[in-house]
Amino acid sequence: MGKLFGTSGVRRRVSELPPEFVIALARALATYTPDEKIVIGRDTRKSGPLLESAFISGLISSGKNVIDICLVPTPTVGVATAEHGTGVMVTASHNPPEYNGFKFWNTSGAYNPEQENAVEKIFFSKKFKKGKRCGVVEKRNYVEKHINLILKKIGTVNDVRVLVDCAGGAGSVITPKLLEKMGCDVIAINTNQDGNFPHELEPTAENLAETCKLVKKKKVDIAFAHDGDADRTAAIGKDGKLIEWDSFLSVLAYDLDRVVTTVDASMRIEDVCNEVIRTKVGDVFVAEGIRKNNADFGGEPSGAYIFPDIHIFPDGIATVAKTVSMVADGFFYERLEEIKSYPMERVKIPCGEDEKGIIMDNLKKIIKEDYDDTDGIRISTDEGWILIRPSGTEPYVRITAEGVDRNALDELVGEGREWIGKARK
């Protein structure tokens, strides 16, 4: 059996998504879910309409009715799915334009690995249920509902000048409109919806260099940049510098009682809130952690943030609104200045797929210190922490470490390299 799902749904080059594959995937989902109505939306990629049409064909031929919400961000699919039970987002998030994919949803958020495995098993078995009749397609607009859901929780603001870079992605249909309704002075750039991306979609300092220059030129109070499907958001300070991911996460978590984040997030978050619960890497695991622990907030240092008072899945649009509200209240920069940055290093050690399991098993025998094996091996000390974890997508074992100072960091990384070296023998 081949591997169908990756770390965030099915994601491939468009050339690897022929109609027969897409229709079979749709029929597998239709066989798995008991829900009669299935929501579907797509981002701005040029391949989106054709892939969406093929997926809809598979659903209606299986007897499912389809709620087509057209061009929307991923979190808008989440909002619609909460009403109907099952959803599909056609997106490849921050991947280049030659990629696309499918992310499945239920009322709890994105499918977890167990649910994906169940769909995958049906896909490869080809044991699809046949519909007694052909389903119907209904087009609905959920953008306004998504906006109103956020406004109801956050409200309006005064005198905040905001720049938002929609990156030619799906955020263009909602974020500028939300900010205007909040009462902001809005500068929206790269709002085209034709699938031509003005810069690479991963919201990094390098990819946002021109946007950062514009922030200073336009003298805005805060700026944001979405990825392709707007489930993630980067923040750019009024000084025109991209705010560090872990610092942004910590500002959003500031002064909260219980927060959920991943094993690879900075220890700076422990400085600003009462209790931190760490999960496996992935927003699905963060969402599960929030529900299980009744947490106030959760997020990853990749820019995926979850606000349970709104809903329990990553929402880049809600992130913009929450942050603007903090800026308006005068809290954002004040808290940002208080957050301490510690030296951190991420190292990739080349490693074949067949070697990953052996190395991780051997590490558990070699390492004498107490460790957390939630996701990889994580060791915390008074001087910092180190995480050793096999990559889920590349032929590497990764070392992530953070120290109270550079010497502590170097010692942790050196020790990690030494452990991996011994584990290979």
Residues belonging to the active site: 93
Contact 71, 49 (CB under 8 A): no
Taking the C-alpha atoms of residue 27 and residue 20, their distance in angstroms, rounded to an integer, is: 11
> Is 396:407 a contact under the CB 8 Å cutoff?
no
What distance in Å separates the CA atoms of residue 314 and residue 172, rounded to the nearest whole number? 17
The values of phi and psi at residue 371, to 5°, are: -140, 160
Between CA 347 and CA 418 the distance in angstroms is 13
Residues 6+ apart with CB under 8 A from 359: 351, 390, 397, 420, 423, 424
DSSP-assigned states of every residue in 161-186:
EEEEE-TTSGGGGTHHHHHHHHT-EE
Do the Cβ atoms of 45 and 97 come closer than 8 Å? yes
Question: What number of CA atoms fall less than 13 Å from residue 142's CA on the CB side?
Answer: 26
Considering all CA atoms of the chain, what is the largest pairwise distance in Å, rounded to the nearest integer? 68
Amino acid at 53: S
Strand 396-403 to strand 344-350: parallel, antiparallel, or no bridges (unpaired)?
antiparallel
Q: What angle do CA 175, 176, 179 make, to 5 degrees?
A: 85
CA distance 403 to 381: 9
